Amino acid sequence: MEADAAKLIGAGIACIGMGGAGVGVGIIFGNYLVGALRNPSAAPAQFTNALIGAALAEGLGIFSLVIALLLLFT
Amino acid sequence: MTDPLHQFEIHVIAPLFSIFGVQFNFTNAALFMLVIVAIICALLYAAFANPELVPSRLQSVGEVWYEFVHNMVRQVMGEDGMKFFPLVFSIFSFVLVANMLGMFPYFFTVTSHVIITAALAVFVILLVITVGIMRHGLGWFRLFAPHGVPIAILPFISAIEVISFLSRPVSLGLRLFGNMLAGHIVLKVFAGFVVSLSALGITGIFGAIFPLGMAVGLTALEFLVAFLQAFVFAILTCVYLNDALHPGH
């Protein structure tokens, strides 16, 4: 029973890592927007790069979600 | 009924055969994958069955779909990457239709299962390694030793490059899986709030408006995520294949 409780607590702690992914995605899109407002004509060409960066940052947050799911369901 | 993971259960529709004690079944996941392929084929066939100079609505949808992937492949990989266009188009269409089909209530989301996304991601990475070695021979491994790095720190940089290359299939598969799984769980949890609040009587029914509005907003967000994840999967496939074609950059 205590092992189960520790697993649940661990799953909750693992989800804190998702916050880091949120910060990362926010920084990427925020800086993209800053750059886009300074030089709007260059913005469309870089939108794809912004999306790739956001996807890469988000993927690391997904790892912590997967750890939480592994703790809950194994 | 309120279990948010109930929607991801795999049911056996028809047992097929067993080889060496491993049972092969026709499941709802297999059924939905066949439906996805049928939808893609039917849509594209209907769009381009009678092509006209001034496109009809369906034909222009097909043209936008085709040109979107075409431009993406050309931008990322250049002219000699165009031979991978059919592959990228297939992957993009499969993931996009799978994500969109999963948005229907009571439908099964194929891409919310890690085995399917991992199979796609491992296939892409094995293809990258195969194409890289076929194109450049052992010189392809220069990918792990970037230009202009001092010889003293080259071993560390190479180790980091190898680790980052090996984590690509993991992150490529898990990103799609995690996004679809998390999105559908969140939708189900907010729908559960509506049900359990409205069981409380008249105040609960008025209170249930807020989670209902949230669920509507999240549904819109999920449509965006469904498209964005298909796009991200396809463009990362292009980026990784570009490493196989032009390892120097």
Judging contacts by C-beta atoms under 8 Å, the chain B residues touching residue A74 are none
CB B175 within 8 A of CB A55: yes
pLDDT tens, residue by residue, A27-48:
999 999 999 999 999 888 888 8
Judging contacts by C-beta atoms under 8 Å, the chain A residues touching residue B4 are none
- The pLDDT mean for chain B works out to 87
**C-beta atoms of B174 and A48 within 8 A:** no
* Other beta carbons within 10 Å of A5: 9
Name the residue facing B175 among A48, A58, A69 (closest C-beta). A58
* Residue in A with minimal Cα distance to B225: A55
Q: What's the mean pLDDT in A2-29?
A: 90
For position B1, what pLDDT does the model report? 52
Pairwise CA distance, residues B118 & B108, whole Å: 18
For position A52, what pLDDT does the model report? 86
Share of chain B above pLDDT 90, in %: 33
A22 touches B at CB < 8 Å: no
Q: What's the mean pLDDT in A46-54?
A: 87
Substitution target from B171, B185, B228 for chain A, most A beta carbons within 10 A: B171
For position B146, what pLDDT does the model report? 78
A15 touches B at CB < 8 Å: no
Substitution target from A15, A29, A48 for chain B, most B beta carbons within 10 A: A48
Judging contacts by C-beta atoms under 8 Å, the chain A residues touching residue B171 are 56, 59-60, 62-63
The packing angle between helices B85-102 and B209-245, to 10°, is 170
Closest CA to A40 of A30, A52, A48, A32: A32
For position B194, what pLDDT does the model report? 87
Which residues lie closer than 8 Å to A49 by C-beta, 6 or more apart? none
For position B96, what pLDDT does the model report? 94
User: Can you say how many angstroms the Cα of residue B210 is from the centroid of all Cα atoms in its chain?
Assistant: 31
Which residues lie closer than 8 Å to A63 by C-beta, 6 or more apart? A17, B171, B174
CB A22 within 8 A of CB B206: no
pLDDT band at A67 (very low <50, low <70, confident <90, very high): confident
A59 touches B at CB < 8 Å: yes
Pairwise CA distance, residues B228 & B215, whole Å: 19
Model-level pTM greater than 0.90?
A: no
Residues of chain B with pLDDT under 70: 1-2, 248-249
Q: Measuring CA to CA, how many Å separate A20 from each of A59, A69, B228? A: 11, 18, 20
Which residues lie closer than 8 Å to B27 by C-beta, 6 or more apart? B10, B11, B12, B13
Q: Measuring CA to CA, how many Å separate A12 from each of A64, A67, B203? A: 10, 10, 32
**C-beta atoms of B174 and A62 within 8 A:** yes
